[in-house]
Homo-oligomer: A and B are copies of this chain.
Amino acid sequence: MDSKTIGILGGGQLGRMIVEAANRLNVKTLILDAPNSPAKQINASPDHVDGSFTDYDSIVKLAEKCDVLTVEIEHIDVEALKKVAQKFPNLQMYPLPETIKLIQDKYLQKKHLIEHDVEVVESIDVAENSVDALLAIGDQFGYPFMLKSRTLAYDGRGNFVVKNKDSLAQALEFLKDRPLYAEKWCPFTKELAVMVVRSIDGEVFAYPTVETIHKNNICHLVYAPARTSDTIAKKASILAKNAVKSFPGCGIFGVEMFLLPNNELLINEIAPRPHNSGHYTIDACVTSQFEAHVRAVAGLPMPKDFTQLSTSTTNAIMLNVLGDSVPNKELETCRKALETPNASVYLYGKATRPERKMGHINIVSSSMEDAQNRLNYILGESESIPSTLASKEKPLVGIIMGSDSDLPVMSVGADILKKFGVPFELTIVSAHRTPHRMSQYAIEAAKRGIKCIIAGAGGAAHLPGMVAAMTPLPVIGVPVKGSVLDGVDSLHSIVQMPRGIPVATVAINNSTNAALLAIRILGAFDYKWLDKMSQYLNTMEEEVLGKAEVLEDIGYEQYLSEKLKK
């Protein structure tokens, strides 16, 4: 596709997956790393360089054969890289050496982001590795706080939680002579991440906002999209894009951030390369983070929206496969994944070692609940995510009523939804007594993932029509019978909507049918519900046929007298 040759510093799993993407596009890649490193295994070129990606001479050997240099790791000797750039003025380097320099020192990274008005976790440089210096920080930040190595830290290595004054000496001992900085304690509710790819023109494209779950400081699971409101996902996406815009050059960046209890978002850190939190893109997006990186650094087209999920119903979970203390035992997890439809296994061609990233598993489905069930099978009982911690299922149907006096009628419909296993929410929203709450409910429902609203109301019964006027979702109206007029007042109020705003009206007091209609609406696009509805119709038919048989059998007089006894 492109005549440029891309040299990659580092041939681990990230380099390997970049090579895979480049292979598909006939883009030539060459690797600098040890012989037979994962990336070299899948690229039969005789021109790879054996050596270290931190060694100037080796980089020169690679650079001689390439048009573009890129990295799969940021722990590069930036000075060596700059010298190489001087030696080969026509060589392109993405990320730029100055970007790597800014990012590989986490304290400089944070300072840089603050200078560009990007919200980050509050940090202070540790001027001197002494207990006194840390005491001053403890006074300022309070305890606990995080003490971190500015450089060469990853997967939690180089981090220390300073619980109180007594642990300061221990912290200094643990982090020895490394350059340090301190971070204010950040009591996040979730960790989110966004892969962002930047074109050479400075245009940035964000992949979906995802949720990351760490175990022993190593990425364990990634949920894509994140199980948050669309507003938070959107805010995270904007924050990540703004952060990446502040770094010149091009290529893919991983942006990790914290979601705080007040819904504020703070950037934790940025990686100027493909990232573990973006492995889900291989299966959940048409263009993976690796191909996006190849396109960016090779100057290939990057159209608007090319980083979106494959379909509007794509949900994915990524599970990291770490080396077990028993060699190759991790393959048992992979085997379980192969037994699971909708899961795919990626192994990196690395020798097994405890806690080493050996591979990952992607699970893709139309629903996150389904993906979670498949994940739990793969993890096995002892490791599986309990449903309380697992994705709390987003409600698909919202039941609202004007007053709690409508609850006896409306609860019957709620029971039906429960019986079918449809996630729903139920609350009071009054058109006349809480008009602003009603507007908010109607306006936000679609954004929150609600697919259909059931509104019950009596008398003048304005709730269903007013909600329908403020949402593009289907609204089902249940006329609730009042003390006069037999509910015909509510029926006409609900059904006789003017042209332009429909309310799907069901029979008076019949919230059962409202719930069944909601399930039919879900079933129009999701076979799961369609199947359940077909079964329900069959069961009803069988019940009536059963009664008919008895009636024919015992005769109508006896049938009637038995029915009256009940």
Contact among B42, B331, B540 with A500 in the assembled complex (CB-CB below 8 Å): B540
Contact with B along A337-365 (1 / 0, CB 8 A): 01111111111110000000001001011
* Contact A473:B524 (CB < 8 A) given known A44-B40, A495-B506: yes
Q: Which of A311, A312, A365, A446 has the most chain B CB within a 10 Å cutoff? A: A311
Contact B510 A499 (CB under 8 A): yes
* Contact A472:B537 (CB < 8 A) given known A1-B345, A338-B295, A527-B312: yes
Chain B residues with Cβ under 8 A from A546's Cβ? none
Contact A530 B472 (CB under 8 A): yes
Contact A338 B508 (CB under 8 A): no
Contact B502 A517 (CB under 8 A): yes
Chain B residues with Cβ under 8 A from A362's Cβ? 286
- Chain A, range 26-40, C-beta contacts under 8 Å to B: 26, 36, 40
- Give chain B nearest CB distance to A484 CB in angstroms: 18
Contact among B311, B314, B347, B506 with A502 in the assembled complex (CB-CB below 8 Å): B506
Q: Bound complex: CA of A330 vs CA of B487, how far in Å?
A: 69
* Contact A41:B24 (CB < 8 A) given known A344-B287, A474-B517: no
Chain B residues with Cβ under 8 A from A506's Cβ? 495, 497, 502-505
* Contact A366:B516 (CB < 8 A) given known A345-B1, A507-B496, A510-B497: no
Tell me which of A77-85, A121-129, A300-308 binds B.
A300-308
Contact B502 A491 (CB under 8 A): no
Q: Bound complex: CA of A510 vs CA of B452, how far in Å?
A: 21
- Give chain B nearest CB distance to A153 CB in angstroms: 29
Q: Give the number of chain A interface residues (Cβ < 8 Å).
A: 96
> Is A179 on the interface with B (CB-CB < 8 A)?
no
* Contact A495:B473 (CB < 8 A) given known A23-B41, A24-B347, A311-B310: no
Contact A497 B523 (CB under 8 A): no
Contact among B303, B366, B476, B521 with A312 in the assembled complex (CB-CB below 8 Å): B366
Contact A286 B344 (CB under 8 A): yes
- Chain A, range 485-531, C-beta contacts under 8 Å to B: 491, 495-508, 510, 512-514, 516-517, 520-527, 530-531
Chain B residues with Cβ under 8 A from A469's Cβ? 537
Contact B310 A314 (CB under 8 A): yes
Q: Of all chain B residues, which has the CB nearest A519?
A: B472
Sampled A-B contacts (26; CB under 8 Å)? A1-B347, A20-B23, A23-B41, A23-B42, A24-B347, A43-B44, A286-B362, A300-B338, A301-B335, A301-B339, A305-B341, A310-B311, A310-B364, A311-B365, A312-B313, A312-B525, A313-B313, A472-B530, A472-B533, A472-B537, A473-B523, A473-B530, A499-B512, A500-B516, A521-B521, A521-B524
List 17 additional contacts besides A301-B338, A474-B521; criterion CB under 8 Å: A20-B42, A26-B347, A36-B44, A41-B43, A286-B344, A286-B364, A300-B338, A303-B339, A312-B526, A469-B537, A470-B537, A474-B524, A495-B507, A498-B507, A502-B510, A521-B524, A524-B524
